[in-house]
C-alpha cells in the first residue's frame, strides 16, 4: 500500500486519540494466563494486533472480533507445534508470550522476534529477568528454547528499564504463588495497562506507576473479565507533530496526559501554543485523559539536546517526532536517539523532502530550521516511528508526495488516512 499526499494544507477540526498499540499487544499476550474468557474492548485494528491474533489462533486460542472488541478463550491445551512462525517473526511482541507460556509448558520453543529494523535489540534483558524464576532460555539463529523444572518467586533487578522485559517478568510472576519483586521496572503506559489487567484477574500488585513492582502471585487465574484498552500517547503525539509542522489549529481529544507532559514541556519551550482542558479518566480507571487544543505557532529550536528517558521522561517512541518538528523551528536542534543504533540514520530521509540534517553518528543528528519542505517520492522506512515522521513532513510539503510501502505505519496506526482526511488533509491510499 502507498500513500499519496497533496501537502501544504492546513488541518482543522478535532481528532480522537486512538487506543494503544503497545497496550493491546501486551494484553493479547497476558490473555494466555487466563483460563476464563477475556474480553478486550477498544482494540485498535492494526497490523501488529492482526499478527498476534494469527499467532494465537494458530496455537488453538479462540479469538473472535465483535466490532472493536476481542473475545479470547485460551484452551486447556495449547498446540505450539502449529504456531504461525511467519506471523510471529514479524513482531517483536512475540517475546511477551514467553512469560505466560511458562505456565503452560515446562519446555517449549518460540520463533525469533522481528518487528522494526532498528539495529541490535538484544533479548538478553528478558533472559536475565526470567532466569531468576528458574527459567533457562537459549537463543538460536531462528528460535528461542525455553525450559524450567520449577518456577519460584524471586527478586529481580532488571538490567535495563525495558517495557517488554518488565511485562514478561510480570506475566511470569503473576502465576507463581508467593511474592516476587521487580526492581528498576519500566512504569510506562503499557506496563501500567498490564498491571491493571492482572489486578482485575485477582493478582495483587503494589507500586503500579513506580520502578519497583511487588507481585503477589496466585495459583489459579480463571475469571471472565472485560478490560478496556487505554488511549495511545504516540498516536496523540503524531497529531501534535502534524499540527506543529503544518501550522494548524486542531484539538486532540482524550490524550493520555501523564505520558505526554515532558513532550509538551519541550514543545512549549520551542514556542508551541496549546491549551489543555477536560480532565477525565479512561475506562481502565488508571489513565488520565485531557483534550489538547493546538494553535499555529512560530517555533524555535530547543536550547538543549532532545533525548528520551524511561517514564516519566520523554517517551522513546515520541522522540522521532521532534526531528520533523525541528524542520520548522528556527535554529539548530540536536536529537540524541541513544537507545537504537540505526534510528537516527532514518531521520536523514527528511532530506528528501528538503530538510537540512547533519548526522553526527548513528545516535545523534542536528536539524536546521526553519525549512520549506518540498514534495517527494519516498520508500517508507522499515521502522514505525521513522516512517510516520516522513508522513508528517509530507503533510507540510507543498505539492504531491508519495510514500511507498506503508506497512510499517499500518503496524501501529489505525485508519490513519481517514482520520487525516477528517482534518482536511488531502491524502489517499493506493
The pLDDT score that the predictor gives to residue 126 is 82
**252, pLDDT greater than 90:** yes
- Please state, in angstroms and rounded to a whole number, the distance separating the CA atoms of residues 8 and 314: 29
Q: What is the mean pLDDT of residues 12-21?
A: 97
Higher pLDDT, 11 or 124: 11
The pLDDT score that the predictor gives to residue 301 is 98
Percent of the chain with pLDDT over 70: 98
- Please state, in angstroms and rounded to a whole number, the distance separating the CA atoms of residues 45 and 410: 9
CATH class of 3-18+231-429: alpha beta
pLDDT in tens, 149-175: 999 999 999 988 899 999 999 999 999
- Please state, in angstroms and rounded to a whole number, the distance separating the CA atoms of residues 145 and 137: 6
Count how many Cα atoms sit within 13 Å of the Cα of residue 63 in the half-sphere of its side chain: 22
Q: Quick one: pLDDT band at residue 191, thresholds 50, 70, 90?
A: very high
Q: Any idea where the domains of the chain sit in the sequence?
A: 3-18+231-429, 21-228
The pLDDT score that the predictor gives to residue 117 is 42
DSSP E strands, 296-337 = 299-300, 306-307, 329-336
Where does residue 77 rank: exposed (0-12), middle (13-18), buried (19+ CB within 10 A)?
exposed
Q: What is the mean pLDDT of residues 243-255?
A: 98
Say if residues 290 and 277 touch (Cβ distance below 8 Å): yes
Answer whether 3-18+231-429 and 21-228 agree in fold: yes
pLDDT in tens, 85-144: 999 998 889 999 999 999 999 999 999 875 444 344 467 888 888 999 999 988 888 888
Say if residues 333 and 303 touch (Cβ distance below 8 Å): no
Higher pLDDT, 406 or 126: 406
The pLDDT score that the predictor gives to residue 118 is 36
SS3 31: helix
Angle at 118 between CA 114 and CA 122, to 5 degrees: 65
Q: Which CATH number fits domain 21-228: 3.50.50.60, 3.65.10.10, 3.90.230.10, 3.40.50.800?
A: 3.65.10.10
The pLDDT score that the predictor gives to residue 170 is 98
The pLDDT score that the predictor gives to residue 114 is 57
**What is 337-379 written as a DSSP string?**
--S-SSHHHHHGGGGGGT-EEEEEETTEEEEEE----B--EEE
Nearest CA-CA partner of 87 in 159, 28, 166 = 28
Q: What is the mean pLDDT of residues 329-355?
A: 94
- Please state, in angstroms and rounded to a whole number, the distance separating the CA atoms of residues 317 and 233: 9
Angle between helices 163-173 and 21-30 (to 10 degrees): 30
SS3 56: helix
- Please state, in angstroms and rounded to a whole number, the distance separating the CA atoms of residues 230 and 256: 8
- Please state, in angstroms and rounded to a whole number, the distance separating the CA atoms of residues 311 and 127: 22
pLDDT in tens, 273-287: 999 999 999 999 999
The pLDDT score that the predictor gives to residue 116 is 46
Instruction: Please report, for residues 92, 141, 177, 193, 249, the alpha-carbon distance to residue 89 in angstroms, rounded to integers and kept in the order given.
Output: 7, 12, 32, 24, 41
Q: Residue 57: in which H helix or E strand, if any?
A: helix 47-58
The pLDDT score that the predictor gives to residue 122 is 61
Mean pLDDT of the chain: 95
pTM listed for this prediction:
0.95
Say if residues 241 and 386 touch (Cβ distance below 8 Å): no
The pLDDT score that the predictor gives to residue 4 is 98
Amino acid at each position: 500500500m502507498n500513500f499519496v499526499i497533496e501537502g501544504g494544507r492546513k488541518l482543522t477540526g478535532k481528532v480522537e486519540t486512538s487506543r494503544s498499540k503497545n497496550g493491546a499487544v501486551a494484553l493479547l499476550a497476558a490473555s494466555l494466563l487466563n483460563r476464563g474468557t477475556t474480553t478486550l474492548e477498544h482494540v485498535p485494528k492494526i497490523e501488529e494486533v492482526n499478527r498476534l491474533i494469527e499467532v494465537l489462533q494458530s496455537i488453538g486460542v479462540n479469538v473472535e472480533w465483535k466490532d472493536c472488541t476481542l473475545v479470547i478463550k485460551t484452551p486447556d491445551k495449547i498446540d505450539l507445534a502449529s504456531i504461525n512462525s511467519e506471523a510471529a517473526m514479524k513482531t517483536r511482541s512475540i517475546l511477551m508470550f514467553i512469560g505466560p507460556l511458562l505456565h503452560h509448558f515446562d519446555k517449549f520453543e518460540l520463533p525469533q522476534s522481528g518487528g522494526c529494523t532498528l539495529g541490535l535489540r538484544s533479548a538478553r534483558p528478558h533472559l536475565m529477568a526470567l532466569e531468576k524464576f528458574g527459567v533457562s532460555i537459549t537463543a538460536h539463529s531462528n528460535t528461542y528454547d525455553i525450559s524450567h523444572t520449577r518456577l519460584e518467586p524471586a527478586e529481580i533487578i532488571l538490567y535495563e528499564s525495558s517495557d517488554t522485559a518488565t511485562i514478561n517478568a510480570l506475566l511470569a510472576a503473576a502465576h507463581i504463588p508467593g511474592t516476587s519483586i521487580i526492581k528498576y521496572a519500566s512504569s510506562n503506559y503499557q506496563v501500567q495497562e498490564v498491571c491493571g489487567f492482572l489486578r482485575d484477574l485477582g493478582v495483587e500488585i503494589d507500586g503500579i506507576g513506580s520502578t519497583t513492582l511487588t507481585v503477589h502471585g496466585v495459583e489459579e487465574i480463571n475469571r471472565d473479565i472485560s478490560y478496556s484498552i487505554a488511549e495511545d500517547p504516540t498516536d496523540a503525539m503524531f497529531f501534535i507533530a502534524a499540527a506543529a509542522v503544518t501550522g494548524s489549529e486542531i484539538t486532540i481529544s482524550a490524550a493520555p496526559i501523564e505520558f505526554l507532559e515532558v513532550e509538551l514541556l519541550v514543545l512549549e519551550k520551542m514556542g508551541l501554543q496549546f491549551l489543555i482542558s477536560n480532565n477525565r479518566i479512561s475506562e481502565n480507571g488508571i489513565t488520565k485523559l485531557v483534550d489538547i487544543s493546538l494553535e499555529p505557532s512560530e517555533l524555535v529550536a530547543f536550547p538543549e539536546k532532545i533525548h528520551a528517558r524511561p517514564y516519566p521522561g520523554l517517551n522513546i517512541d515520541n522522540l522521532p517526532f521532534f526531528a520533523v518538528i525541528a524542520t520548522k523551528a528556527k535554529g539548530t536542534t540536536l536529537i540524541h536517539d541513544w537507545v537504537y543504533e540505526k534510528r537516527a540514520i532514518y531521520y536523514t530521509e527528511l532530506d528528501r523532502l528538503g530538510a537540512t540534517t547533519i548526522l553526527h553518528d548513528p545516535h545523534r543528528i542536528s536539524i536546521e530550521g526553519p525549512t520549506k519542505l518540498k514534495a517527494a517520492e519516498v520508500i517508507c522506512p522499515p521502522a514505525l516511528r521513522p516512517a510516520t515522521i516522513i508522513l508528517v513532513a509530507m503533510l507540510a510539503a507543498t505539492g504531491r508526495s508519495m510514500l511507498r510501502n506503508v506497512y510499517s505505519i499500518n503496524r501501529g496506526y489505525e485508519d490513519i488516512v481517514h482520520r487525516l482526511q477528517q482534518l482536511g488533509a488531502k491524502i489517499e491510499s493506493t
